Structure 1
Amino acid sequence: MPASHLLSADCLDAAVTAAHTAAAILQTHALHRDDLEVSFKMRNDLVSQADRDAEQAIIDILHTRTPAVGIMAEESGGERGTLATWCIDPLDGTTNFLSGIPHYAVSIALIGHAGCQPDGRTPLPEDTPLIGVIYDPNREELFASLYGLGAWLNGRRIYCSKTPSLDQSVVATGFPFRDFSFEAQYMPGLVDAIHQTRGIRRLGSAALDLAWTACGRYDGYWEMGLAPWDVAAGTALVRAAGGVCEDIRHQHPWPEDGYVYAGNPHTAPALDALIGKHL
C-alpha cells in the first residue's frame, strides 16, 4: 500500500469492517460465556477463545485489505511494517467480558512510522497513530478517527471536553492489576486526584476510557502498566478530537509503553503535573 493511501477512506473502512466482524464474534461467544476456554497469561491477565477468534478475524481482514501494512496483535504477536503497522486489541476489557459486565470493546489502530508520508507529501517526524477505531458492541457505539481530519462517534463529529480545570473534572483511571511494580508511584497520584477532581471512575477498559475522553464524557484519564494495543487507537482518537494524549514518562512520541495520560488542552497538563511529581 502506498504511503499516500494510509489515510484513505479504504484504510479506515478496513479497520471498521474488522472491528464489526470481531465484535459479532465476541457477542456470539458472550451468549455461551460459561463454555469458553480461558487461560492465564500471567496473574490477573486472562485470554479466552473469544479473544483468539476475534483477533484472527481482524488479522484476516486487514491482511487481505492492506497486505503491505504490518500487524501487531495482543494474542498472536506479529511483525512491524516498513511504513505502518496495525496495532490490535481484539477484546479490551476481557475481565469484564468474562464476568458478564457489558463494558468492553474492540480496538484497532494504524501507527505510521517515522519518515512515511501518510498524506503523500509530509514525512512523519516520529511514529504517530494515524487511525483509531474502537467499537463498543454493547452500546453499538463506533468511535473512529483519521489523523489531521477529526474524530467521530457513529458518524457524528466529537471533541474533547472544554472543562477548564482539574477541580471541575471527572477523570478515569485504571488500578494496577497485573503488574504491581509501579504501585508506589501510582497510589499517591490517585490520592491527589481524589482530592483535586470532581470524581474518579474506573470501569476496566482503557480503550473505552480514551474513547470517552475523546467525546467529552471524561475530562481526563491516566493509567500505568498497559500495553501498546490498549492505548494506540485511543491515542489517535483523543488527539484527533482536539485533546492531548501522551506518555506519562515523556520518553516516547505516543504512549506505546502503556504509561498514558490524556485530556483536553487544560486538564491534560494539570493531570500530567499531578501524576508526574510522584514518578
Structure 2
Amino acid sequence: MPHSSTLDLGAAIDTAATAAHTGAGILQAYAHNRGDLVIDHKARNDLVSQADREAEAAIIEVLRARTPEFGIVAEESGGAAQGLATWYIDPLDGTTNFLHGIPHYAVSIALVAHAGTRAGLGEPLKEDTPVIGVVYDPCREELFTAVYGIGSWLNGRRITCSRTASLNDAVLATGFPFRDFSFADQYMPMLHDAIRTTRGVRRMGAAALDLAWTACGRYDGYWEMGLAPWDVAAGTLIMREAGGVCHDMHQRDPWPIGGRLVAGNPEIALALQEMISPHLRVE
C-alpha cells in the first residue's frame, strides 16, 4: 500500500489537542458572560449558542490548516466523511450544562480512519475505526487523549478502566432521553433495572465526559441512546485504549456511530449488555 495511505498519528494527536484547547478558550471566554449569549433552539431541548458556533469555527480552522486532506463532520456546520480519515467534532458537549453555569462540559475531537487506511505501523484497517481521540474539560483542565494501538492518557498519565467485576459493585453513567423520546419505552426499563441492580447510576449530561470518566475508572460502565456520532467518537477510542469496551448497542456498526452505546471494562460491559438487551427492539 502506498505511503500516502498511512496516517501520521503523532501529528494528528498534536493537531487535535491544539484544536481542542483553541475551542475551549472561546468557551471559557463566554462562560463568564452567559447572560449575553444569543441562544437558538434547533429543536426541543436542543440548544445552540454563539459559543458553540465560534468554538467550532476555530477548531475547524486549525484542522483545515494542518490536515486539509481529511474530511470533517461537525455538530453545527455538518460536513461529510471523505479521504483517508474524517474528523468528528463536538465543540461543546454539554451545552445545557454550560448555559446553566454547571461546570461539566467538554470539547470532543476524534479522527476516524476509513477502511483500507493504515494507522501507524499496523495492517490496513478492515473497517472504519476511531484512531485519535481528545476530550478536554476546561473547567477541571483535564485533557483526555488516546492514540490507536498505543494507549489513553489523562494530562499525560496513562489511564485504565476500573477492575470492578460485578454490576452489584458498579457505579454506572447514563443519559436520559431529552431530545428524542422515541426510544423512551426501551430506555426506562433499562434504567429501572440498573437502579435496582447496581451501586448507583449517575446522569451528568455530557456523553464525551461520561466515556472519558469510564475510561479512567471513575465510572465502571456507561450506556446511552439517542446520541450523535460526534458525541461518542473520541470517547470510544479513549475507552478502548484504556482496556475497556465501547460498542454499538445493537452490535452492528464498528463503532457507535448510530449513537447507542454500551461501555465499560470487559466484565461490566458484558453484564450491562445482558441487562439492557431484553428491552431493546430489533430495528
Q: Deviation at 1:17?
A: 0.3
Distance of 1:207 and 1:70 partners within structure 2: 21
Structure 1 runs of 4+ aligned residues shifted over 6 Å read none
Q: Deviation at 1:152?
A: 0.2
Distance of 1:272 and 1:51 partners within structure 2: 33
**What's the CA shift string for 1:150-182, capped at 9, x where partnerless?**
000000000000101111100000000000000
Distance of 2:5 and 2:171 partners within structure 1: 39
Q: Is the 8 A contact 1:72 1:88 kept in 2?
A: yes
Residue number in structure 1 paired with 2:6: 4
Q: Deviation at 1:3?
A: 3.3
Moved more, 76-85 or 255-264: 76-85
Aligned pairs for 1:1-279 (under 5 A) are: 2-7=4-9, 9-279=10-280
Please provide the CA RMSD for this pair: 1.0
Tell me the number of residue pairs that the alignment of Structure 1 and Structure 2 aligns: 278
Distance of 1:195 and 1:214 partners within structure 2: 24
Q: Is the 8 A contact 1:4 1:118 kept in 2?
A: yes
Distance of 1:217 and 1:3 partners within structure 2: 37
Amino acid at match of 1:5: L
Q: Is the 8 A contact 1:214 1:243 kept in 2?
A: yes
Q: Deviation at 1:2?
A: 3.3
Q: Identity percentage over the alignment?
A: 65
Distance of 2:16 and 2:190 partners within structure 1: 35
Q: Deviation at 1:197?
A: 0.6
Q: Deviation at 1:119?
A: 2.0
Amino acid at match of 2:243: G
Amino acid at match of 1:55: E
Q: Is the 8 A contact 2:119 2:148 kept in 1?
A: no
Q: Is the 8 A contact 1:160 1:238 kept in 2?
A: yes
Q: TM-score, normalised by structure 2?
A: 0.97
Q: Is the 8 A contact 2:244 2:266 kept in 1?
A: yes
SS in 2 for 1:10: helix
SS in 1 for 2:6: helix
Amino acid at match of 2:4: P
SS in 2 for 1:102: coil
Q: Which runs of 5+ in 1 are unaligned?
A: none
Q: Is the 8 A contact 1:3 1:120 kept in 2?
A: no
**What's the CA shift string for 1:49-88, capped at 9, x where partnerless?**
0000000001000011111111100000112122100000
Distance of 2:236 and 2:162 partners within structure 1: 15
Q: TM-score, normalised by structure 1?
A: 0.98
Amino acid at match of 1:237: I
Distance of 2:11 and 2:265 partners within structure 1: 29
